[in-house]
Amino acid sequence: MKYTTEDGFPYYYNLVKNIDCKPLFSSLSTFTFLNSINEEKSTYRYAPNKWNIKQIVGHITDHERIKISRAFLMSRNELVQLWGYNQNFLVDNSRFEELTLQQLRTDFLNVRKASISFVEALSESQLRIKGMAQHYEVTLENFLKSIIGHEMHHINIIKERYI
């Protein structure tokens, strides 16, 4: 079955499903790529009403913050519904366009460092804990993989439509 972004979890998970969870978070490829984008290019929109690159970077960072906090609760056996959120509302109410791309990259890297610290400390049994993402039963490991799948999705869009 082919999933779309509207399917949420399974779409993002399928982008990385055959890669081990912990190395996914440790990869620096996204940061290397983002460092190649200059400030002028960061405000580009490929179409009206589409986010610019700075907003995408901010969104990826917001997404990781939100999902890691839910993964933390799941790792502690907290029965939590891994619900979605209104991404447009969060971006519309952010300061992403006022910040420099460098500030947004630094924030993203800081969030990633915290995520790595959390993910590296998880045991194999914690990675097998199950929860619900929308109507899909998922393991913590697969939920974590979907965070990086989401990032990969947006980086691919930047490469295809912005650069």
Name the strand (E) or helix (H) holding 130. strand 130-133
What stretches in the chain show pLDDT beneath 50?
none
Name the strand (E) or helix (H) holding 1. none
Give pLDDT, residue 82: 67
67 — phi, psi (to 5°)? -70, -35
Question: CB–CB of 157/56 below 8 Å?
Answer: yes
Q: What is the 3-state secondary structure (H, E, C) of 62-123?
A: HHHHHHHHHHHHHHCCCCCECCCCCHHHHHHCCCCCCCCHHHHHHHHHHHHHHHHHHHHCCC
Domain 5-162 top-level CATH class = mainly alpha
What are the extents of the domains in the chain?
5-162
How far is residue 31's CA from residue 36's CA, in Å, rounded to a whole number? 9
56-70, pLDDT tens digit by residue? 999 999 999 999 999
133-153, pLDDT tens digit by residue? 877 889 999 999 999 999 999
Question: Which region holds residue 20: left if phi is over 0, alpha if psi is between -120 and 50, else beta?
Answer: beta
Give pLDDT, residue 36: 97
How far is residue 152's CA from residue 5's CA, in Å, rounded to a whole number? 12
Give pLDDT, residue 4: 77
Identify the three-state secondary structure at position 138: strand
